[in-house]
Amino acid sequence: MSLPNDQLPDAAGNPPAGGPSRRSFLKQSGGILGFALVPPIAGQAEAIADKMAPASPIISGATNMSLNINGQVKNLRLEPRTTLLDALREYLDLTGTKKGCDHGQCGACTVHVDGRRVNACLTLAIMAQGKQITTIEGLAKGEELHPMQEAFLKHDGFQCGYCTPGQIMSGVACVKEGHAKTDDQCREWMSGNICRCGAYPNILAAVREVAGKQG
């Protein structure tokens, strides 16, 4: 059953005025109420239970959400279309993660979600709830730098520094994945992070040093 036009976002993408109406709520739940009046028959119980299960909520417009960032729970009120990248930079003042291309092509926005490297620009914040998110700000332990950060300093692994948080986050994961065992392997598995300054040889040296130490 489709909703009438006044229950859909308008042409500019704004949510329906006044939120979901009584009419749309009843339309969605009508099936459930109808079946509640029918006595369950053995064998049909499962089919009816399926229909009795409440439909998952449809979230429209700004909504409360909780993100676990670097071990801290952050409560935000965001629209479903807000990316994790924008949540971090614009709403949480965690500007270490950079916006390079905003389309998943440069890797500057690389963060860890449940320990895996991903592009925050193509992740919806609402879908990152309930997961452990680690950003560049979460690598150091107080004043003690992460070994990858030490290595980037030692090997001069950056010039302008814009791609660097993404490179470091990607490098940490690359080593953990076991994908930095040789120079060629490391180049291939770091290829999702691009550097306009061309610091690649030094980035490679940094990541490979950490791999050598951590195995």
Partner 1 sequence: MNNFAYTQATSTKEAATAKQADTHAAFISGGTSLIDLMKSNIEQHSLLVDVNKLALLGIENAATGLRIGALERMSDVGEHPLVVQNYPAISQSLLASASPQLRNMASMGGNLLQRTRCGYFRDVAFPCNKRVPGSGCPAQDGDNRNLAILGTSESCIATHASDLCVALVALEAKITLENAKGTTRTVPLADFYKLPGKTPHIENQLQPGEIITAITVPAAAHARKSHYLKVRDRASYAYALVSAAVGLDVQGGQIKSARVALGGVGTVPWRVPAVEKALVGKAPTEENFRAAAALAVRDASPREHNKFKVELAQRTIVRALLEVVA
Q: Where on the chain is the footprint of partner 1 (CB under 8 A)?
A: 1-3, 8-9, 12-15, 50, 53, 55-61, 79-81, 83, 102-104, 107, 110, 116-119, 121-124, 126-127, 170, 173-174, 177, 179, 187-189, 191-194
Report the residue number, 156 or 188, with the smaller CB distance to partner 1.
188
Instruction: Decide: 99 and 110 in contact? Cβ < 8 Å.
Output: no
How far, in Å, CA of 152 to CA of 1, rounded? 56
- How many other C-beta atoms can be found within 10 angstroms of the C-beta atom of residue 63? 13
Report the residue number, 25 or 72, with the smaller CB distance to partner 1.
25
- Measuring CA to CA, how many Å separate 178 from each of 29, 174, 210, 212? 50, 6, 11, 11
Residue 98 beta carbon to partner 1: minimum distance, rounded to whole angstroms: 14
Report the residue number, 22 or 141, with the smaller CB distance to partner 1.
22
Report the residue number, 121 or 203, with the smaller CB distance to partner 1.
121
Instruction: Decide: 51 and 32 in contact? Cβ < 8 Å.
Output: yes
SS3 state of residue 12: coil
Residue 176 beta carbon to partner 1: minimum distance, rounded to whole angstroms: 11
Report the residue number, 59 or 153, with the smaller CB distance to partner 1.
59
Residue 206 beta carbon to partner 1: minimum distance, rounded to whole angstroms: 17
SS3 state of residue 53: coil
By C-alpha distance, which of 131, 22, 43 is closest to 123? 131
How far, in Å, CA of 122 to CA of 104, rounded? 6
Question: Would you tell me the crossing angle of helices 164-177 and 147-154 to the nearest 10 degrees?
Answer: 120
